[in-house]
Amino acid sequence: MKNLFISCALAMLALASCTDDSEDTAPVIDVPVVQESVAGEVSGVWTKGGTYKITGHIQIPKGKSLTIEEGVTVLFSDSVVKPEVVILGNLYSLGTAAAPVKFTVPDSWKTAKNLYGNLWGGLIAGPESAELVLSNTILEYGGAVTTEESPSVKAGLYKAMAGQHVPVLYYPNVKGKLVVTGSTIRNFNEDGFYIEGGQVIIANNYFYTTGVSGGDAINIKSGVQADIAFNVVYSPNTNALKLSSTGDRTPQAYIVGYNNTIINAGWRRPTTKGGSVWLEKAVRVDLYNNLLANDRYGIKRDPGNPEDARSVISNTFYYGYDQTTTSQFQPSTEIVKGTNDIISAKAGENDPKFVNYALSTATANATYDNAWDFHLQTGSPALTKGKTDFTRLFANGIVVNGITYKSPAPANYIGALGTK
């Protein structure tokens, strides 16, 4: 019996060996999804590496969510309709540094004629949109003009009228949560973000080539509690940050803005208003460690509608290549003087020593060069001058879709980027 058992076992092993040798062990390759025509209501998951060609307005319904995985291309391919993305539910755009999500247009449309987009609308959220995340996401070439048929107009969202350029992102829910991190916003006609409510973190992003006749990179109104940190903003038409408590929503707007780098802001606006950070109508702000290079003005207030008296402004670094620029950031009744600022009255003083950027670049230039590097060289006067012992609003994080997003810890240098 024992010999029979051994013989059977050996036979089974031999059979298994033969079976393994004969099987095809070629790896299974995932083929990215390509959806040729997407319009109407959308929800669920857009899968990793896929391409979704948007041929009409799309809408995430109330109570539903759309998750966009890493490497997805959202391609707006109808130049007649110029689609909008209306978000009545939740949107989670979850790219990675290596494989960002892209909201874009065909490459053949990316011409000098279309430098400021207008080729699709924007992301327009509704008042009950509870959660919105843009992580490692590129948004480009949008900002089209609304018409009577635009879903945002029909739904009474944003400015709710025809003839308005929509922003990159509009978010109005005072009870909502908005996180934008590691993303790039470029080639849009008007405002970048227009935010009228919510707990907000905007960190580690790049904004450039936005705004033709007006427009701020980040425009915040009442109802918003926000940490805005470590962003690089290049040549917005008007301000990098427009911070206001207009709208009389609760809570009062309270923004902690720190370690941002703002270059060439405000010079392309036909009429003067601001040109780096604009404060108005009882907004409460704490501003620390912000680097302002060649901006039209310093941190500016509206004397008729000034900021909340509890506001704190400290450790701002100013640089002006020419005397016109330098003169416009000197403290006055409109230009706010902070504590521990690095500011000079003479052009060219306090060179921040960027790794790769010519400070003589024309202030009205809006074309961004990806070879530029706004890290600081060793010996920069902005190094070791940052303040770190202040309170940010969301150091413990905002929980969105089960994930905790924390505002980054402040740095001991001034600006968004330290040494490499």
DSSP label at residue 336: P
Average pLDDT over residues 357-361: 98
Q: Which is it for strands 373-376 and 354-356: parallel, antiparallel or unpaired?
A: antiparallel
- Residue 100: phi, psi to the nearest 5? -70, 155
- d(CA 225, CA 375) in angstroms, rounded, equals 28
Are 249 and 282 within 8 A, CB to CB? Answer: no
- Does this model's pTM top 0.75? My answer is yes
Average pLDDT over residues 257-263: 98
pLDDT at 11: 41
- d(CA 267, CA 255) in angstroms, rounded, equals 25
- pLDDT of 22 strictly over 50: no
Are 74 and 104 within 8 A, CB to CB? Answer: yes
- pLDDT of 14 strictly over 50: no
pLDDT tens digit string along 170-214? 999 999 999 999 999 999 999 999 999 999 999 999 999 999 989
Residue 79's pLDDT band (cuts 50, 70, 90): confident
Q: To the nearest whole percent, how much of the chain has pLDDT over 70?
A: 93
Distances in whole angstroms, Cα of residue 408 to Cα of each of 94, 198, 274, 349: 18, 18, 27, 30
pLDDT tens digit string along 151-169? 999 999 999 999 999 999 9
- pLDDT of 129 strictly over 70: yes
Q: Which of 129, 121, 120 is CA-nearest to residue 171?
A: 129
Residue 299's pLDDT band (cuts 50, 70, 90): very high
pLDDT at 7: 41
- pLDDT of 19 strictly over 60: no
Opening angle at CA 396, ends 390 and 402, nearest 5: 155
pLDDT tens digit string along 103-114? 999 999 999 999
Concatenating the DSSP letter of every residue in 48-100 gives TT-EEEEEEEEEE-TT-EEEE-TT-EEEE--TTT---EEESSEEEEE--SSS-
To the nearest whole number, what is the mean pLDDT of the chain?
Answer: 93
